[in-house]
């Protein structure tokens, strides 16, 4: 009793038959082998499974694969471009923003979306915006520092980009 | 090459994690793999009357359903206890409770399904019909001892053991002769560790070689293999390989031997297919070992000048429904033996009564006994200051063990190795701006706000443990650690360590050590851990032991590698061994006074493997090992200071400032240490202000999802300021102490003391954690 879905993930189109109840997180992990998206809870609280769907951060454990039909998805595996880390990834490395690494992909996906929405987010705003992502290792301190580093780096990149256009 | 030990080197493991390439058990897929799901009890205490699995077995895609009897008849054994204190009663615990026996906590396993997919396995669980004869639930660490209902018929009064330590008569006399006695009744609440990766197991049976491979989310794969072989699964150690790859956090909860580590490989062999089980979060909340859960009464004797005369403690410790692997260690040696804190206390007596209840088993959770001790001692210190109207710092300093008094023998068995507690407090006072915080508090109070400053000075015994001492205290195993350094012919090195990294950054820190010891670049060092098929028997990681025990083994193994390289260099340079200088910064060996003519690491290792030109009698090859047994625990110590304001309308605590000064001895990677301390502090604050693994009177867990359990979020914390003092441990080669748990140990009571200081003007002397808005508001409003 499958249903066909066609989803673009990290720039590549996948057409697969899925059980209608298949969660998007399971689809990414089991059907596509993209295991960077982790599952940390079953109540949409922890955010380890966060991905970008049509440019928005969503928790893929709370979306059905069939609901993602026709969408464009980015997962953690698609964040680095041509071997260059995304500024949020780089900041996590620079700031020791991870320990066990399990929440990290979801954190990076949430923060990259947050910074796109709130490019000038303050430390306090970053802390509030991270409400949907749980980390047990770091006490969030270096995650917040990483978000602030990435914010500043993205400003810098934006500024450079504008200068190049002029 | 600059010395790397002491440098904040960025972690070499990070690129894989930040790109979604963490190698967790749950990511493993094997050809033909089937899915296992566990049917669990929805009730806390009941006799299993019958199980009807026929509907589940008939479901398309279900391979089989197994019950407890199937596993017992199939040769599995009872889960053993690894820490047997005197006269302990260890009740039977099976991987799956058989029909006729009882379930003893919500989440206890009653059947296992194996199916073609995880979704089908979940469907099948709903089709298994279990008939229960419900029994009253035994709940409450203290009241369990007087409950007429028994969790286990073999454990009278629900008391599994009692553990008294100290001179009771001397303490009674000291209290009687004191000018004043401070009394405190407290509850140290149940916590759920909640590593972000839930537990998982994958098993593969090789029908040709009759070897089993088990991937499991463990902090210590070798002890798990030992227990599986000797007690529970019956596959001999030489035919069983246990792998714990990247593990997503542990905090103690992944030390222990769990039923699923028996069930999954047993089924894999039975159906001759690879099998996988991954816990849901709800499942983790009712099966992962939980933490704390003490009910205590304490009395502290004092002279009017502030001198402590004696300490009496009685603690009821809730063990839950079964004795988890190392559970009896936690409220005994890791708790009672730390009750002296930073202080000279002439006599201490503590009696621990450990009880069985219809709740999830309790075992080590970050800090493990030591936060419970620190909380009790440092709450008492604050109450003593209040009673004597003494300054909290002056009072503590008055009772400190002084630097000249180390090694210091406490009345509760521990021999502290080193410390400078006055220096520690000096630094914390300066670092936190303590006096400014007091002024800020007083000003805030004048403005009608509820504000408080909390301070605590805490001790930890980390780096378990001298094996003889552990054995004397009841351990079934030793607590040394192993290391093998394999030099490859090209001069590269692989370290095989018995320690296990599940967030601690060993791949970086251990490579820093080897780089310094052998003079080779970090990039030339590969760190291998977590695989019994590769590494020598190792005891794993917990108790903040990896560096002080495992790191010491690495240093010792490196010394042996150097010694052999020097012999080769001496031979080839035609000099005496004692005339050779090995420059650890370059990895070059030369004759004293002639550095121009030298042999590099490559020359010496390549020569070891060609064996064309070795000294007579020297074996070819270059691979050395060490099994390091520590001489003592190490004793990290800390002074933490916090500033809080409380919303009088809601009772909500606003933690505004937090400063931590810790003495963890020498430091290999300060960035990683700071991360460990900060993360630990967050867990301590979590206990103080938010978290509670609650059960109702029927034994139903009230906080078994992240919707209900108050996991701290990013906005629960200010930027935490950390600083260090350094008194190297005198008995290990790196001079290091543990860094993994100090934050948690100190932060719990520091945050609690800050809140209680804020409430002091309202004559509220003590509230139990978690200090939730409701609890504080009710206290303020006398509801």
d(CA B185, CA B168): 19
* Residue B599 sits in the same domain as residue B643: no
- Give the per-residue pLDDT at A1: 66
> Which tens digits make up the pLDDT trace of B147-165?
999 999 999 999 999 999 9
> Which of A12, A46, A76 finishes a domain?
A76
A58 and A12 in a common domain: yes
First-to-final CA distance of chain B: 66
Asked whether residue A37 is assigned to any structural domain, the reply reads yes
Final residue in a domain of this structure, among B607, B628, B649 = B628
Put simply, the answer to whether A40 touches B29 (Cβ < 8 Å) is no
CB–CB of B18 and A85 under 8 A? yes
CATH of the domain at B206: 3.90.1170.50
Both A108 and A143 in one domain: the answer is yes
Count the domains in chain A.
Answer: 2
Query: Do B746 and B716 fall into the same domain?
Result: yes
What local confidence, expressed as pLDDT, does residue A42 receive? 86
Domain harbouring B573, CATH code: 3.30.365.10
**In this predicted structure, what is the pLDDT of residue B533?**
98
Sorting pLDDT into bands at 50, 70 and 90, what band is B346?
Answer: very high
Whole-angstrom distance, CA of residue B433 vs CA of residue B431? 6
Decide if the complex's ipTM is over 0.95.
yes
pLDDT score at B440? 98
Residue keyed to tokens 């806390």? B44
- Does residue A165 sit in helix, strand or coil? helix
Pairing mode, strands A3-9 and A72-74 = parallel
Q: Are residues B651 and B617 in the same domain?
A: no
Q: For chain A, how long is the longest CA-to-CA vector?
A: 56
B79 preceded by cis ω (within 30°)?
Answer: no
Residues B623 and B639 in one domain: no
**What is the mean pLDDT of the segment spanning B594-621?**
97
> Does B637 share its domain with B760?
yes
What burial letters (b/e) apply to B1-40, b meaning 16+ CB within 10 Å?
eeebbeeebbbbbbeebbbbbbbbbbbbebeebbbbbbbb
Residue B294 confidence (pLDDT) above 80: yes
Mutate to test the interface with A, among B9, B12, B17 (most CBs of A within 10 A): B17
> Do A97 and A151 sit in the same domain of this protein?
yes
pLDDT of residue B2: 78
Q: How would you classify the pairing of strands B129-134 and B46-52?
A: antiparallel
How far are the Cα atoms of B218, B326, B413 from residue B255, in angstroms, in the given order?
A: 6, 8, 25
Are B620 and B648 contained in the same domain?
no
- Neighboring chain A residues of B671 at a CB cutoff of 8 Å: 96
Q: Which of A137, A144, A150 to mutate to test the interface with B (most CBs of B within 10 A)?
A: A137
Judge: A45–B717 Cβ closer than 8 Å, yes or no.
Answer: no
Per the CB < 8 Å rule, is A99 touching B251? Answer: no
Query: Using the beta-carbon criterion (under 8 Å), do B706 and A46 form an inter-chain contact?
Result: yes
pLDDT at B385: 97
Transcribe B166-202 into DSSP letters.
Answer: E-HHHHHHHHHTSSEEEEEEEEEEEE----SSPPEEE
Q: What is the spatial order of strands in the sheet that B291-302 belongs to?
A: B159-166, B348-355, B308-318, B291-302, B180-191
Inspect the interface and report whether the beta carbons of B705 and A41 lie closer than 8 Å.
yes
Let me know whether B43 and B125 are in one domain: yes
Residue pair B394/B381 in contact by the 8 Å Cβ criterion: no
Is residue B615 located within the same domain as residue B651? no
Q: Do both B237 and B379 map to the same domain? A: no
In a domain, A129, yes or no: yes
Pairwise CB contact (< 8 Å): B246 & A101? yes
Chain B residue with Cα closest to A145: B719
Query: B755 lies in which domain range?
Result: 367-463+632-780
- Find tokens 């004869």 and name the residue: B133
Q: Which residues contact B434 (CB under 8 A, 6 or more apart)?
A: B393, B428, B453, B455, B641
Question: Which of B10, B22, B679 is opposite residue A139, by nearest beta carbon?
Answer: B679
Q: What is the mean pLDDT of chain B?
A: 97
Q: Among A76, A109, A131, give the residue marking a domain's end.
A: A76
Asked if the Cβ–Cβ distance from A98 to B714 is below 8 Å, we say no
Supply B185's token pair: 């009744």
Token pair of B783 as six digits: 């509801």
**Are A137 and B249 inside 8 Å of each other by CB?**
yes
- Taking only the tens place, the pLDDT of each residue in B506-552 is 999 999 999 999 999 999 999 999 999 999 999 999 999 999 999 99
Q: Let me know whether A93 and A155 are in one domain.
A: yes
Q: How far apart are CA B449 and CA B438, in angstroms?
A: 14
With contacts defined as CB-CB under 8 Å, which chain A residues touch B195? 100, 102, 136
Is A95 near chain B, with CB under 8 Å? no
Contact of A54 with A72, CB cutoff 8 Å: yes
Residue B150 located in a structural domain: no
At A105-141, the pLDDT tens digits run: 999 999 999 999 999 999 999 999 999 999 999 999 9
Total number of residues shown for chain B:
783
Residue B199, pLDDT > 90, answer yes
> Considering only alpha carbons, which residue of chain B is nearest residue A125?
B715
Contact check, Cβ <8 Å, A139/B720: yes
Residues A109 and A53 placed together within one structural domain of the fold:
no
HSE (CB half, 13 Å, CA atoms) of B392?
Answer: 25
The answer to whether residues A68 and A99 belong to one domain is: no
Contact B713 A143 (CB under 8 A): no
Provide the token pair at B776: 């504080």
Residue B410: closest CA among B343, B313, B310:
B343
> Tens digit of pLDDT for each residue in B254-275?
999 999 999 999 999 999 999 9
Half-sphere exposure of B626 (CA within 13 A, CB side): 20
- Domain boundary at B577, B593, B628, which? B628
Query: What token pair was written down for B293?
Result: 């859960």
- Beta-carbon contacts of residue A116 (< 8 Å; ≥ 6 apart): A55
Contacts of A123 in chain B (CB under 8 A): 719
CB contact under 8 A, A42 and B705: yes
Q: Do B706 and A76 touch (CB under 8 A)?
A: no
Residues in A 53-92 with any Cβ partner in B closer than 8 A: 75-77, 79-80, 85, 89, 92
Cα–Cα dist B385/B532, whole Å: 52
Say yes or no: A96 and A41 in one domain: no
Q: What is the DSSP string of A14-78?
A: EEEEE-TT-BHHHIIIIIS--TTS----SSS-S-TTEEEETTEEEEGGGSBGGGGTT-EEE-GGG
SS3 content of chain B, % helix, strand, coil (to 5): 35, 25, 40
pLDDT of residue A160: 86
Alpha-carbon span B710 to B227, nearest angstrom: 34
**One domain, residues A161 and A93:** yes
Token code pair at residue A82? 């041509």
* Structure token digits, residue B694: 């609650």
Query: Minimal Cα–Cα distance from A124 to chain B, Å?
Result: 7
Mean pLDDT, rounded, for B114-125: 98
Nearest to A140 among B674, B680, B682 (CB): B682
pLDDT value of residue B298 = 98
The whole-angstrom separation of Cα B224 and Cα B217 is: 11
Which candidate in B11, B12, B20 is best for mutational testing of the A interface (most A CBs within 10 A)? B20
Residue B154 lies in a domain: no
Q: In whole angstroms, give the CA distance from residue B458 to residue B640.
A: 8
Instruction: Determine, yes or no, domain membership for B774.
Output: yes
Question: A 110-149 residues with CB below 8 A of B?
Answer: 123-124, 126-128, 130-131, 133-144
Task: Give the C-alpha separation, B371 to A125, whole Å.
Answer: 32
Residues B603 and B738 in one domain: no
Half-sphere exposure of B698 (CA within 13 A, CB side): 7
Residue A81 lies in a domain: no
Q: Is residue B642 part of a domain?
A: yes
Cα→Cα distances B617→A72, B611, B620, Å = 67, 11, 9
Instruction: Say if residue A100 is in the same domain as residue A60.
Output: no
Q: Is A41 on the interface with B (CB under 8 A)?
A: yes
Domain end, chosen from A55, A76, A97, is at A76
Residues A99 and A70 in one domain: no
- Chain B residue with CA closest to A83: the answer is B19
Find, among B674, B685, B670, B665, the residue nearest to B738 by Cα.
B665
Whether residue A125 is found in the same domain as residue A154: yes
- Taking the mean position of all CA atoms in its chain, how far away is CA A102? 13
- Residue A35: which CATH number? 3.10.20.30
Number of domains in chain B: 3
User: Do B280 and B383 lie in a common domain?
Assistant: no
How far apart CA B686 and CA B710 sit, in angstroms, is 8
* A70 inside domain: yes
A121: in domain: yes
CATH number of the domain where residue A125 is located: 1.10.150.120
What pLDDT is stored for residue A163 in this prediction? 85
Same domain, B278 and B400: no
Contact B65/B112 with Cβ under 8 angstroms? yes
Instruction: State whether A19 and B195 contact (CB < 8 Å).
Output: no
Distance from CA of A98 to the nearest CA of B (A): 8
Residues A65, A15 within the same domain: yes
Cα separation of B657 and B719, whole Å? 8
Nearest CA in chain B to A35: B27
- Classify residue B148: in a domain, yes or no: no
As a whole number, mean pLDDT of residues B43-62 equals: 98
List the single residue in A34, A42, A130 with the smallest CB-CB distance to B281.
Answer: A42
pLDDT at B1 over 70: no
In the three-class reduction of DSSP (H, G, I as helix; E, B as strand; rest coil), residue B365 is classed as coil
Give B248's contacts in chain A (Cβ within 8 Å): 38, 100-102
Q: Which domain holds residue A13?
A: 3-76
Sign of CA dihedral B526, B531, B535, B540: positive
Separation between Cα atoms, residue B222 and residue B324, nearest integer Å: 17
Q: In chain A, which stretches have pLDDT less than 70?
A: 1
Given an 8 Å threshold on Cβ–Cβ distance, is B194 in contact with A77?
no
């Amino acid at each position: 009793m499958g249903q066909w879905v066609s989803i673009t993930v990290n720039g590549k189109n996948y057409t697969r038959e899925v059980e209608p109840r298949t969660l998007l997180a399971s689809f990414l992990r089991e059907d596509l082998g993209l295991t960077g998206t982790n599952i940390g809870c079953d109540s949409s609280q922890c955010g380890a499974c966060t991905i970008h769907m049509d440019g928005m951060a969503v928790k893929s454990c709370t979306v059905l694969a069939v609901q993602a039909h026709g969408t464009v998805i980015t997962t953690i595996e698609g964040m680095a471009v041509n071997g260059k880390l995304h500024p949020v990834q780089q900041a996590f490395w620079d700031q020791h923003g991870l320990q066990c690494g399990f929440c990290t992909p979801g954190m990076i996906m949430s923060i990259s979306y947050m910074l796109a929405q709130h490019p000038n987010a303050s430390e306090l705003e970053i802390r509030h915006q991270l409400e949907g992502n749980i980390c047990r290792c770091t006490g969030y301190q270096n995650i917040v520092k990483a978000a602030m580093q990435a914010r500043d780096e993205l400003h810098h990149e934006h500024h450079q980009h504008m200068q190049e256009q002029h | 090459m600059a010395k790397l030990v002491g440098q904040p080197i960025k972690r070499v493991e990070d690129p894989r994690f930040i790109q979604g390439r963490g190698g967790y058990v749950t990511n493993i897929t094997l050809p033909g793999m089937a899915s296992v799901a566990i049917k669990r009890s929805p009730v806390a205490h009941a006799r299993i009357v019958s199980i009807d699995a026929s509907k589940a077995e008939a479901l398309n895609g279900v391979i089989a359903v197994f019950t407890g009897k199937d596993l017992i008849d199939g040769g599995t054994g009872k889960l053993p206890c690894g820490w047997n204190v005197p006269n302990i009663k260890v009740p039977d615990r099976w991987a799956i409770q058989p029909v006729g026996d009882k379930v003893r906590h919500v989440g206890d396993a009653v059947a296992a399904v194996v199916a073609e997919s995880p979704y089908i396995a979940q469907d099948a669980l709903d089709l298994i019909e279990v008939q229960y004869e419900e029994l009253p639930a035994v709940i409450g660490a203290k009241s369990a001892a007087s409950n007429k209902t028994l969790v286990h018929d073999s454990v009278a009064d629900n008391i599994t053991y009692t553990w008294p330590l100290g001179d009771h008569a001397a303490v009674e006399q000291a209290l009687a002769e004191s000018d004043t006695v401070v009394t405190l009744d407290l509850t140290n609440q149940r916590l759920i560790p909640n590593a972000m990766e839930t537990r998982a197991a994958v098993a593969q049976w090789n029908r040709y070689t009759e070897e089993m491979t088990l991937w499991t989310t463990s902090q210590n794969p070798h002890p798990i293999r030992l227990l599986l072989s000797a007690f529970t699964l019956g596959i001999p150690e030489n035919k069983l390989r246990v792998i714990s790859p990247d593990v997503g956090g542990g905090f103690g909860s992944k030390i222990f031997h769990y039923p699923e580590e028996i069930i999954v490989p047993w089924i894999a062999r039975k159906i001759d297919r690879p099998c996988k089980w991954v816990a849901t979060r709800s499942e983790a909340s009712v099966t992962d070992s939980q933490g704390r859960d003490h009910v205590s009464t304490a009395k502290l004797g004092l002279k009017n000048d502030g001198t402590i005369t004696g300490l009496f403690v009685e603690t009821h410790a809730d063990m839950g429904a079964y004795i988890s692997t190392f559970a009896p260690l936690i409220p005994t040696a890791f708790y009672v033996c730390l009750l002296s804190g930073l202080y000279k206390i002439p006599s201490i007596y503590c009696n621990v009564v450990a009880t069985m209840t219809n709740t999830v088993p309790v075992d080590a959770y970050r800090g493990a006994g030591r936060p419970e001790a620190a909380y009790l001692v440092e709450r008492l210190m604050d109450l003593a200051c209040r009673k004597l109207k003494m300054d909290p710092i002056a009072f503590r300093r008055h009772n400190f063990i002084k630097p000249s008094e180390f090694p210091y023998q406490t009345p509760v068995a521990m021999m502290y190795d080193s410390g400078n507690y006055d220096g520690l407090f000096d630094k914390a006072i300066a670092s936190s701006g303590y006096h400014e915080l007091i002024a800020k508090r007083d000003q805030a109070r004048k403005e009608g706000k509820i504000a408080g400053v909390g301070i605590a000075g805490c001790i930890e015994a980390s780096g378990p443990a001298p094996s003889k001492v552990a054995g004397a205290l009841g351990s079934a195993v030793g607590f040394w650690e192993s290391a093998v350094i394999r030099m490859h012919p090209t001069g590269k090195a692989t370290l095989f360590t018995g320690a296990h990294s599940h967030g601690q950054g060993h791949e970086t820190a251990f490579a820093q050590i080897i780089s310094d010891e052998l003079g080779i670049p970090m990039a030339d060092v590969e760190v291998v851990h977590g695989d019994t098929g590769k590494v020598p028997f190792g005891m794993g990681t917990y108790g903040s032991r990896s560096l002080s025990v495992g790191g010491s083994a690495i240093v010792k193994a490196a010394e042996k590698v150097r010694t052999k390289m020097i012999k080769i260099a001496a031979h080839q340079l035609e000099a005496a061994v004692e005339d050779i200088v090995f420059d650890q910064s370059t990895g070059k060996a030369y004759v004293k006074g002639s550095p121009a003519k030298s042999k590099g690491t490559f020359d010496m290792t390549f020569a070891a493997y060609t064996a064309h030109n070795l000294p007579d009698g020297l074996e070819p090859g270059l691979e050395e090992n060490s099994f390091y047994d520590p001489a003592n625990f190490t004793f990290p110590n800390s002074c933490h200071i916090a500033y809080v304001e409380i919303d009088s309308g809601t009772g909500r605590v606003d933690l505004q400032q937090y400063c931590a000064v810790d003495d963890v001895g020498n430091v290999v990677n300060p960035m990683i240490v700071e991360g460990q301390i900060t993360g630990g502090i967050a867990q301590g604050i979590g206990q103080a202000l938010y978290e509670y693994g609650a059960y109702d009177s029927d034994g139903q867990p009230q906080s078994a999802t992240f919707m209900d359990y108050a996991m701290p979020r990013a906005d629960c914390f200010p930027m935490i300021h950390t600083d260090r003092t350094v008194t190297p441990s005198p008995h290990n080669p790196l001079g290091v102490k543990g860094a993994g748990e100090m934050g948690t140990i100190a932060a719990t009571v520091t945050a609690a003391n800050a809140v209680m200081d804020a409430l002091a003007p309202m004559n509220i002397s003590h509230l139990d954690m978690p200090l939730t808005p409701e609890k504080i508001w009710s206290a303020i409003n006398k509801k």
